[in-house]
């Protein structure tokens, strides 16, 4: 027997997957228990040089011809996008009983549950290890190694571009736009960086992790999402002074009310393992019972890291371990009960730009006091009478609804020159 692969998409990940399958063929065969051979490929431009020899593959202009081909047992989709070709290929391949492997977080975060149902109905496997944190096998960790645990919290650094930018800002004191331009020049950020820096990419990954951890359908819309555009060099400097680092965290956590899912720039104690993850590296912490805390760290993107995850799934499928996409029966993947973000309990960082005049600090403290929020620390540097100066306060535990009300009142103070900056402080 041979597992015959139809590869749709020959870009960064697709070309590397084809290259590695060929370069490591004997090792992969011994691990898979049978040869794994790419038989058919498809991309947009047949004439493009991809640095790989395409002559041994059958080229298909129409990717759907691969999804229905009699010479293909498993379809590997590496095109991307929530719908379009990727979704059509998934439905066609799974409908035809072919195994389907993808790195497509956008599609799985939206359509994962219905595709899992289709796979199950047709006796095929759906696998998407490469969709979350590239070279970190976090999906297998949740589905297999940690299957005996009740998971209480999954959180981490899920976007290398944002982590690179925040690390550089921390280390050099440079402004966001300046570091973003460098990330683009280095190829870490796209020309249109919104998908990364607005938290969308991390939110898609978090929705998938939450589904695996809490046994439901992935629900991208349930993730409260914001990015890092608003993170200033000033807040990075205050964070440093307070003993924190700012990171874009994805957090899915169990509470009494349900499951909280959110992506935002947060402060974390500089001593915490996750706060010390620098550059483009990704990291995921899984907290469960009885395991306690389990931290996975590694490369989150790039052709090699992502192809590594794709091939791991291919080997699983070839050796009969393809299993169920979310590790549970598709019929059991119901809606994950959502905890409103306003119910979040925790500490907060608040920075307000105010005109420096007597009584301002007392006015600010009065707002916190009226809402019953206790202040943990207060920072104000220098004096510039009648000029705007930053005043920073951190709080003890409160809830998000209350701190939002505090922020609204602070912004309305006569001395305030702009709305306050509010950031969650994570206890890790």
Ligand X SMILES: NC(=O)c1ccc[n+]([C@@H]2O[C@H](COP(=O)([O-])OP(=O)(O)OC[C@H]3O[C@@H](n4cnc5c(N)ncnc54)[C@H](OP(=O)(O)O)[C@@H]3O)[C@@H](O)[C@H]2O)c1
Residue whose C-beta lies closest to ligand X: 11
Going from the C-alpha of 174 to that of each of 111, 166, 391, the distances in angstroms are 40, 10, 21
User: Residues 6 or more apart from 57 whose CB is under 8 A from it?
Assistant: 7, 18, 38, 39, 40, 41
Q: Which is nearer to ligand X, 134 or 325 (CB)?
A: 134
Per-residue contact string for residues 188-217; x = within reach of ligand X by CB under 6 A:
------------------------------
The catalytically annotated residue of 98, 105, 205, 240 is 205
Instruction: State the residue for tokens 């819309």.
Output: 221
Burial 108-132 (b: 16+ CB within 10 A, else e): bbbbbbbbbbbbbeeebbbbbbbbb
Structure tokens at 310: 């794709």
Residue of 4, 32, 63, 428 interacting with ligand X (CB under 6 A): 63
The number of residues in the chain equals 428
Please state whether the peptide bond connecting residue 310 to the residue before it is cis, i.e. omega within 30 degrees of 0: no
Using CB under 6 A as the binding rule, whether residue 160 contacts ligand X is answered as no
Q: Which is nearer to ligand X, 231 or 305 (CB)?
A: 305
Using CB under 6 A as the binding rule, whether residue 80 contacts ligand X is answered as yes
33 near 65, Cβ under 8 Å? no
Residues in region 105-124 near ligand X by CB under 6 A: 105
Binding segment for ligand X (CB under 6 A), chosen from 79-87, 137-145, 148-156, 355-363, is 79-87
Using CB under 6 A as the binding rule, whether residue 302 contacts ligand X is answered as yes
User: Distance between CA atoms of 280 and 299, rounded to whole angstroms?
Assistant: 7
From the CB of residue 289, how many other CB atoms can be counted at a distance below 10 Å? Answer: 10
223 near 268, Cβ under 8 Å? no
Which residues are paired to 250 by β-bridges?
156, 263
Active site residue 205: yes
Ordered DSSP codes for 241-286: HHTEEEEEEEEEEE-SSSEEEEEEEEEEETTSGGGG--TTEEEEEE
Q: Which is nearer to ligand X, 105 or 143 (CB)?
A: 105
Residues in region 26-45 near ligand X by CB under 6 A: 42-45
Per-residue contact string for residues 245-284; x = within reach of ligand X by CB under 6 A:
----------------------------------------
Residue of 39, 92, 104, 261 interacting with ligand X (CB under 6 A): 104
User: Taking the complex as a whole, how short is the minimal distance between the CB of residue 265 and ligand X, in angstroms?
Assistant: 22
Residues carrying an active site annotation: 205
- Binding residues for ligand X, rule: CB under 6 A, are 8-14, 42-45, 48, 63, 78-80, 85, 103-105, 130, 134, 301-302, 306
């Amino acid at each position: 027997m041979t597992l015959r692969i139809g590869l749709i998409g020959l870009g960064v990940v697709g070309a590397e997957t084809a290259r590695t399958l060929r370069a490591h063929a004997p090792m992969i065969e011994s691990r898979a228990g049978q040869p794994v051979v790419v038989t058919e490929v498809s991309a947009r431009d047949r004439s493009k040089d991809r640095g790989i020899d395409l002559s041994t593959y059958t080229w298909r202009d129409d990717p759907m011809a691969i999804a229905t081909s009699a010479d293909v047992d498993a379809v590997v989709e590496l095109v991307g996008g929530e719908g379009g070709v990727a979704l059509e290929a998934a439905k066609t391949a799974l409908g035809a009983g072919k195994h389907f492997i993808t790195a497509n977080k956008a599609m799985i975060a939206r359509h994962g549950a219905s595709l899992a149902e289709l796979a199950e109905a047709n006796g095929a496997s759906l696998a998407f290890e490469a969709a979350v944190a590239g070279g970190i096998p976090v999906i297998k960790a949740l589905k297999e190694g940690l299957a005996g645990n009740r998971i209480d919290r999954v959180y981490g650094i899920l976007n290398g571009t944002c982590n690179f930018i925040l690390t550089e800002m921390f280390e050099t004191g440079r402004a966001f736009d300046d570091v973003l331009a460098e990330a683009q020049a280095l190829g870490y950020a796209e020309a249109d960086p919104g998908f990364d820096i607005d938290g969308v990419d991390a939110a898609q990954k978090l929705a998938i992790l939450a589904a695996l951890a809490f046994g439901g359908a992935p629900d991208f819309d349930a993730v409260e999402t914001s990015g890092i555009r608003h993170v200033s060099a000033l807040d990075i400097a205050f964070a440093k002074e307070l003993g924190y680092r700012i990171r874009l965290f994805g957090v899915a956590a169990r509470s009494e009310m349900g499951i909280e899912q959110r992506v935002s720039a947060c402060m974390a104690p500089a001593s915490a393992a996750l706060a010390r993850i620098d550059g483009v590296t990704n990291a995921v912490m899984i907290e469960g019972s009885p395991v306690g805390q389990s931290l996975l760290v590694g490369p989150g993107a790039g052709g090699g890291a992502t192809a590594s995850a794709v091939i791991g799934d291919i080997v699983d499928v070839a050796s009969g371990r393809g299993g169920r996409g979310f590790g549970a029966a598709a019929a059991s993947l119901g809606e994950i009960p959502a905890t409103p973000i306003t119910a979040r309990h925790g500490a907060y960082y608040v920075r307000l730009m105010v005109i420096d005049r007597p009584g301002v600090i007392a006015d600010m403290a009065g707002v916190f006091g009226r809402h019953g929020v206790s202040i943990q620390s207060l920072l104000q540097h220098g004096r510039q009478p009648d000029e705007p100066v930053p005043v920073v306060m951190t709080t003890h535990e409160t809830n998000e609804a209350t701190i939002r009300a505090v922020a609204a009142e602070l912004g309305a103070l006569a001395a305030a020159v702009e709305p306050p900056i509010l950031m969650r402080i994570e206890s890790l």
